[in-house]
Amino acid sequence: MSTTTTSTASTRTLAPVWLMALALVAVAANLRTAIASVPPLARTIAEDLDLSNAWMGALTTLPVLCMGLFAPVAQRLGARIGAALSVEVAVVCVGLGTLCRLAGSHVWALYLGTFVAGVGIAIGGTLLPRLVKALFPPERAGLVTGLYMFAMMGGAAASSALAVPLQGWLGSWQASLASWSVIALVGTLAWAPVAARAARHRSANPPADEGGHGLPWRHPTAWLVAGYLTVQSFEFYSCLAWIAPSYVDRGWSPGTAGYLLSVFSAAQLISGLVAPALTDRIHDHRALLMPAAVLGLLGLLGLLLAPESGAWVWVTLLGLGQGAAFALGLVLLVDYSATPAGSGRLAAMAFFVSYTVASFGPASMGAVRDLTHGFHATWLVLATLMVVQAGLVLLMRPGRARTP
């Protein structure tokens, strides 16, 4: 048995599997709230601060850009102090950044808080696939990925649905956005025992050299995964940013549009949990990836061709497709890597490429909306990208070479 394999097996004794899974879920619940809580309040924020659609798109873009640019930093931080302790730092950053939005009447505070939260999301999101591979048995990787995907999308659904009601209950949109720091506090406390035990384990068992810390830039499989996640993430964050505002433009109330966005996120709860769990039994993941792309395409075509007549149906189909597509992408980060450290390197590269490109999605789609005075062109662009996503899925055959 190799040193890496022995070390990986020993880390699985840090705590009962169920306890580590619960802690992981508490952390994952924080990885989308800072982003998803903004769109239902977009018009209110824009009017209060006199921001254009492009600048409001940038408010969603900023954390996604951080998720890309700081992914390699997250991988190096994990190599230096350990992935578990790095995730604890990540949740603290999310909490502080979200709390900073309480001073959001100052534009600089709103964007600074968003930046800090984005850094935390980048660190946590990059390292969770590595922790899944390190802390849980291989035959449970899909199920655990589905659980933390469920928590991630659950946080997104709740923050979308409650953004406007919280504004009324707490008295301001600033307080509504900042209130999600409470969830970050829960995640910080839940993960602290795992981080502490992992730090003690790391101190007693210094990690062996796992082949360096370079990212797999020359590996074809790494570029395939990165390309897939780039297209999927561009679509997802563009939809997340503009579904609610597009219906507010059609005369819907912000609250109802927020509920529509929460349905989009809630649908991802179902597919994001079920699809990864099925990968533990279905060897050829294309059998799951292709239906996800088809569902997403149907949802976008509905938004394009019949936005009013079936809005709730279209966002449900789109959410089912996007939830499965992203969750399966996380499984690919585990399956297409040879070791936990390799999974971290693959995630760092894939997230750096995908989120950096995807970060331009909300702002660019906002600019398209400003230029065309409507969202018809936005849904057309995103539907075309969904066809590209389906093309990339065809290349993901079983047995592809794993990244080191």
Residue 399 lies in a domain: no
CA distances from 289 to 138, 159, 331 (A): 20, 27, 11
Residues 6+ apart with CB under 8 A from 338: 402, 403, 404
Which CATH number goes with the domain that contains 19? 1.20.1250.20
Residue 49 lies in a domain: yes
Residue 404 lies in a domain: no
Average predicted confidence (pLDDT) for the chain: 88
CB-CB neighbours of 47 under 10 Å = 9
Residue 164, CB-side half-sphere exposure with 13 Å CA sphere: 20
What does DSSP assign to residue 397? -
Average pLDDT of the residues in 245-264: 87
pLDDT higher than threshold 90 for residue 130: no
pLDDT higher than threshold 60 for residue 152: yes
CB-CB neighbours of 360 under 10 Å = 18
The amino acid at 32: R
CB 68 within 8 A of CB 355: yes
Q: What is the CA radius of gyration of the chain?
A: 20
pLDDT higher than threshold 50 for residue 7: no
Pairwise CA distance, residues 59 & 362, whole Å: 9
pLDDT higher than threshold 90 for residue 190: yes
Average pLDDT of the residues in 161-171: 93
- What percentage of the chain reaches a pLDDT higher than 70? 94
Pairwise CA distance, residues 126 & 66, whole Å: 11
Q: Three-class SS of residue 403?
A: strand
Q: What does the block give as tokens for 377?
A: 């062109």
Average pLDDT of the residues in 96-122: 94
CB 180 within 8 A of CB 34: yes
Residues pairing with 363 in the sheet: none
Residue 398 lies in a domain: no
Q: Which of 153-157, 338-342, 390-394 has the highest mean pLDDT?
A: 390-394
Position with higher pLDDT, 273 vs 207 = 273
pLDDT higher than threshold 70 for residue 193: yes
CB 194 within 8 A of CB 82: no
pLDDT higher than threshold 80 for residue 168: yes
Residues comprising the chain, all counted: 404
Residue 349 lies in a domain: yes
The secondary structure element, H or E, covering residue 89 is helix 83-100
Residue 358 lies in a domain: yes
Average pLDDT of the residues in 206-213: 57
Burial 86-122 (b: 16+ CB within 10 A, else e): bbbbbbbbbbbbbbbbbebeeeeebbbbbbbbbbbbb
pLDDT of 6: 42
Residues 6+ apart with CB under 8 A from 313: 302
Average pLDDT of the residues in 106-135: 92
pLDDT of 207: 66
pLDDT higher than threshold 60 for residue 325: yes
Average pLDDT of the residues in 202-231: 81
Residue with tokens 């900023």: 62
pLDDT of 286: 94
* Range with the poorest average pLDDT among 7-16, 135-144, 209-218, 297-306: 7-16
**Full domain range(s) for residue 291:** 3-206+214-393
pTM over 0.85: no
What is the band of 49 on the pLDDT scale with cuts at 50, 70, 90? very high
DSSP H helices in 206-310: 220-249, 254-278, 286-305
CB-CB neighbours of 335 under 10 Å = 21
Q: What does the block give as tokens for 101?
A: 């939005």
pLDDT of 208: 59
Average pLDDT of the residues in 255-277: 86
Pairwise CA distance, residues 22 & 18, whole Å: 6
Q: Which of 37-41, 87-91, 266-270 has the highest mean pLDDT?
A: 87-91
Position with higher pLDDT, 209 vs 237 = 237
Nearest to 206 by CA among 63, 69, 82, 387: 82
Nearest to 266 by CA among 397, 106, 159, 399: 159
Q: Three-class SS of residue 337?
A: strand
Count the domains in the chain. Answer: 1
pLDDT of 13: 56
Average pLDDT of the residues in 25-49: 91
CB-CB neighbours of 291 under 10 Å = 17
Residue 228 lies in a domain: yes
Average pLDDT of the residues in 374-403: 92
Structure confidence by residue, pLDDT tens digits, 335-367: 888 787 888 889 889 999 998 998 888 878 888
Residue 403 lies in a domain: no
pLDDT higher than threshold 70 for residue 161: yes
- The helix, strand and coil proportions of the chain, stated in percent and rounded to the nearest 5, come to 80, 0, 20
CB 355 within 8 A of CB 57: no
CB 164 within 8 A of CB 258: yes
